[in-house]
């Protein structure tokens, strides 16, 4: 009875494919991250399990009303064994699933960045008008 080996979370994590954008980590200083789920259709899940995805051109669109995050320009390859009639669109918009608190925190940070950017633009415009 005690011969069964229990699988630990480390074993399952080692087998799951990890798809990450290494170029983004090289090109940008990433301070904080937000872990999200991804709303997928059947063949997308199978393709991701095989590691058939490209994040190279991907980006996230954040909307305030309704508060949601959308993943754009990420390519998940088709899953050939499924047949042509069951294939997904490889480059479609996908909804990111995050906890409500995390979403509010992210959107408030984005709003703060937008306010700071607007202040910088106003300051540069004022400085340019003084110099002219």
Paired with 70 in beta bridges are: 61, 95
pLDDT per residue over 78-130, tens digit each?
A: 888 887 888 887 888 999 888 888 888 888 888 888 888 889 998 888 887 77
- Write a three-state SS string for 8-41: CHHHHHHHCCCCCCHHHHHHCCCCCCCCCEECCC
Q: Is the pTM of this model over 0.75?
A: no
Residue 10: per-residue pLDDT: 56
Domain boundaries, the chain: 11-98, 99-132
Question: What is 11-98's CATH number?
Answer: 2.40.280.10
pLDDT per residue over 1-57, tens digit each?
A: 445 455 555 555 556 666 777 888 888 888 877 788 888 888 888 888 888 888 888
Q: What is the DSSP string of 65-103?
A: TTTEEEEES-EE---GGG-GGGPPPTT--EEEE--HHHH
In this structure, what is the dihedral angle of CA atoms 17, 23, 29, 35, given to the nearest 10 degrees? -20
**Spatial CA neighbour of 95 closest among 62, 71, 76:** 71
Residue 2: per-residue pLDDT: 47
Q: Would you say 76 and 53 are in contact if contact means Cβ atoms under 8 Å apart?
A: yes
Percentages helix, strand, coil for the chain (3-state, rounded to 5) are: 45, 15, 40
Residue 26: per-residue pLDDT: 85
């Amino acid at each position: 009875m005690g011969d069964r080996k229990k699988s630990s979370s480390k074993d399952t994590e080692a087998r799951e494919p990890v798809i990450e954008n290494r170029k983004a980590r090289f090109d940008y200083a990433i301070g904080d991250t937000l872990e999200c789920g991804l709303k997928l259709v059947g063949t997308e899940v199978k393709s991701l399990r095989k590691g058939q995805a490209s994040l190279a051109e991907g980006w996230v669109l954040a909307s305030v009303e309704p508060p949601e995050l959308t993943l754009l320009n990420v390519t998940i390859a088709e899953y050939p064994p499924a047949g042509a009639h069951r294939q997904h669109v490889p480059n479609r918009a996908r909804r990111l699933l995050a906890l409500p608190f995390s979403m509010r925190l992210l959107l408030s940070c984005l709003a703060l960045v937008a306010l700071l950017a607007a202040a910088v633009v106003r300051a540069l415009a004022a400085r340019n008008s003084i110099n002219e």
